[in-house]
Structure 1
Amino acid sequence: MELTRDIARNFARIALGHVAQEYPHKLDHVMSDDADVLPPRVLHPCFFGSFDWHSCVHGWWTLLTLRRLYPDMPEAAQIAELAESTFTEEKLAAELRYLDRPGSAGFERPYGWGWLLYLHLEAVRHADQPWGERLEPLARAFAARFKHYLSILTYPIRTGTHFNSAFALTLAMEWADAFDANLAGTMREAAKRWFGEDRGCKAWEPGGDEFLSPALSVAMLMQKSLPPEEFANWFDAFLPDLADSRPATLFTPATVSDRSDGKVAHLDGLNLSRAWAWREVGQATPEHSQLAERLAHTHLDAAMPHVAGDYAGEHWLASFALLALLAPQSLGLHSHQ
C-alpha cells in the first residue's frame, strides 16, 4: 500500500475540514486568573482547530506535505490560501507570546514540540512561500525547550501516548539535523543513554489508550541515533525472537472496540504508527525487511478504513496514516517522496 493521488486528496479534504474548526476543543491551558479564560482562537490564532493544539499542528503538516507531493491536485490551492491566512507574522507572534506565560512551561511537552519542529521542517520545503521563514522563531523556541528538557529528564517516558520521549525525539531529530547540530547531538546522546542497554523487550502493549508502540518507538529513535551496523546489532538484542513471531503483541493489530470514544480510538493510531515503525526499521535491518513489510501491511489494512468516520479519530488519524504511507518500504520499493 502506498500513497496515491486519490488517497492524498481524501486526506487533504479531511484535514482542510478540521484545522480551522474550533469546536469541540480540548485545551492544554493553565489559568492564573479570570483573564486567562479565553477561547482557543484567541489563545492560539494559528492552531485553534482540530480538537487540540497538537492535532492542529500535525494536521497542518499533513496539508503542507500533500501540497508538496501533489501540487496540481485541486486541494493544493485551498491549502496554500488557508496557510497564507493562517501563518501570518501577527498570528505566529501570538503563538510565540503564549509560551512566555508563567503557566506555559510544560505546554504540549514533548509531543506538540516534536510536531511543531516537524511542521517547520516541512514548511521550509515550500520555497515558493514564506511559511518556513515565518514559523522559524516558533520552532527555535521549542528547540530551546527541548535542550532544557533533555538536561533535566533523567528517565525516559515510555508510555505510548503524548508523553512518549522516543517519538517526540524521532520527529524533532530530523529538524535538528537540518537546523541545530548541537541539539541533534544532544538528542542522540540522550537516546543512547536511555535505551542503549535495552535487551529482550517483552512489548507488554498496547495499553488501552495508546497510539504509539512503546517498543517500536524506541527502535525508531535508536535507528536514527546509531550507525547502521551498530543499530542492527542493538535491534537484534532488543527483539531477539522476531523469527519465532515473538513478542506476539507486535505482530497483531490492536482491536478498536468503540471509535466514538477518543481514548479507545487511539488504538487505530497505534496500528498506523506501528506500520510506520515497521517500515522504517525494516529498511535498516535487511534480514527483517520482508517480515517488517508484512507486518506494516497487516497494521495498515486494519486501520486505513477508519481514518475518517468519527471526529474522535478523524481529527488526527490521517497524519499517522501519511507517516506510514510515506515510510520507505522493503525490497527497494518506495512511496512518493
Structure 2
Amino acid sequence: MHNALTPETAQHFAMIALGHVRREYPYKPGHVLAGPEHARTPSQLHPIFHGSFDWHSCVHGYWMLARLLRNFPAMEAAPSIRKLLDEMLVADKVAGECAMLAHPLERGFERPYGWGWLLKLASELKDLEGGRWFANLQPLTDIFVDRFMEFLPIATYPVRVGTHYNTAFATRLAADYAEATDDERLMALLTDTCLCWYGKDEACPAWGEPSGDDFLSSTLIEAECMRRLMPAESFPPWFDRFLPEIMAQKPETLFVPASVSDRSDGKIAHLDGLSFSRAWCWRSLAKALPETDPRRAVMEKAAADHLESALPHVAGDYMGEHWLASFAVLALEA
C-alpha cells in the first residue's frame, strides 16, 4: 500500500471521477420545491453539478480532478479533465447554478458542507492553467462567500456530528479559499468563530464516534480546523488539552478503523470515508508537532491503519464510488 498519491493512483482516481461527474442518475436532489416549476431534472436544476449522485459530491469530484490536474498535468486523463472544465465551467452554466440559489427558500442549500467544498474547489482553480476556470466560477463562489459571512455571525453553536452538517469541516475548507484569495475578512470571521466554538474544549472523550453513518471524525476534524485557523504558537497547547492521552491511544475509538458491514448501503458506506478523513487529520496533525514529539509515530500509525482499511474500497459500488476518491486524495496528500 502506498501512503502517498502516486501517478498511477491519480490516474485511477481521475478515471473514476470522470465516469460520474456527468452521470445524472441516480441523483438525490437537495433543494426545496417551492412550486411545480421547481420540479426539474438534475441537469436543469444544476447545469454543472448534476452528477455524482448529489450536488456536493459532484463539487468535490470537480475539486479532485482539478487537484490531480495541478499535481499530475501530464497524466493520461489530463486532456479529459481540461475538456470537462472547459465545457462545464462556463458563464451560462455558472449563471444557471446561481439562479437556483436565488430563491429565498434555498438559503440553507448545502449548508455548510457544500459551501465549504465549493470554496475548496475555487481555491484549487485559483491560478490553475491561467485561472480561467476560477474566473468563470466567481459568481457562484461569491454567493457562498456571502453565505458564510451571513451565517457564521448567527451560528451561536457549532454542529459536531460526523456528517454533512459538521461546522468544523466546512470552515476548515473555507479557510483554504480565504488564504488563496487573500480574503482577510472571511479568514478573520472563520478564525473568530471557531475560537469561540472550540477554543475552550478539552479532554475530548470522542464518545459519539463512530455513529452508524459518520464520514467525519467530529473530534479530529475539530482539531484539524483549529490547527488550520489558530496561530501556530497557540495550537500545540490547545491540542495538548484537547487530546491529552494520545500516547496511551485514548480515546481508543479514534485509533480503530470502523467496520463497514454493507458497502451497497449509502449511509453505512460513509464509514470508509470516516477512515479516510481520520487518516487525513491524523497525518496533518502529526506534522504540526515537533519532529521529536513521540506522539507523531502513534498518530502516523493510526493514519496508516485507517488508510489500509479504506483504500481497497474506493471503487466497487456506486454508493461509495461517487465520492470516496476525493477523501482518499485528502488523506494521501496530507
Shorter-chain TM range is: over 0.9
In the other structure, the counterpart of 2:192 is 189
Do residues 251 (structure 1) and 255 (structure 2) align? yes
In the other structure, the counterpart of 2:36 is 34
Aligned mates of 1:275, 1:127 — CA distance in 2: 30
Equivalent in 275, 283, 286 of residue 282 of structure 1: 286
SS of 2:74 mapped into structure 1: coil
The answer as to whether partners of 2:204 and 2:219 remain within 8 angstroms in 1 is: yes
In the other structure, the counterpart of 1:335 is none
In the other structure, the counterpart of 1:210 is 214
The answer as to whether partners of 2:43 and 2:50 remain within 8 angstroms in 1 is: yes
Moved over 3 A (4+): none
Alignment of 1:1-337 (within 5 A): 1-128=3-130, 130-179=132-181, 180-204=183-207, 205-286=209-290, 287=293, 288-327=295-334
Deviation at 1:178, TM superposition (A): 2.6
In the other structure, the counterpart of 1:332 is none
Indicate the larger mover: 113-122 or 290-299: 290-299
Cα displacement string for residues 89-132 of structure 1 (whole angstroms, at most 9, x for unaligned residues): 00001111111112210000000000000001111231345101
The answer as to whether partners of 2:249 and 2:298 remain within 8 angstroms in 1 is: no
Cα displacement string for residues 159-216 of structure 1 (whole angstroms, at most 9, x for unaligned residues): 0100000000000011012321111011101111010110110012011000000000
Deviation at 1:29, TM superposition (A): 1.2
Q: Calculate the TM-score normalised by the size of structure 2.
A: 0.96
Structure 1 unmatched runs, 5+: 328-337
Aligned mates of 2:317, 2:118 — CA distance in 1: 25
Aligned mates of 1:29, 1:189 — CA distance in 2: 30
Indicate the larger mover: 174-183 or 69-78: 174-183
**One-letter amino acid of the counterpart of residue 205, structure 2:** K
**One-letter amino acid of the counterpart of residue 321, structure 1:** A
Q: Calculate the TM-score normalised by the size of structure 1.
A: 0.96
Deviation at 1:60, TM superposition (A): 0.3
Size of the alignment, in residue pairs?
327
Aligned mates of 2:68, 2:129 — CA distance in 1: 15
Cα displacement string for residues 265-313 of structure 1 (whole angstroms, at most 9, x for unaligned residues): 0000000000000011001123222222111111000000000000000
Aligned mates of 1:82, 1:174 — CA distance in 2: 24
Aligned mates of 2:310, 2:122 — CA distance in 1: 27
Deviation at 1:228, TM superposition (A): 2.1
**One-letter amino acid of the counterpart of residue 84, structure 1:** D
Q: Root-mean-square deviation (CA), in Å?
A: 0.9
Indicate the larger mover: 157-166 or 239-248: 239-248
Aligned mates of 1:225, 1:15 — CA distance in 2: 30
Deviation at 1:9, TM superposition (A): 0.5
SS of 2:316 mapped into structure 1: coil
Aligned mates of 1:103, 1:193 — CA distance in 2: 29
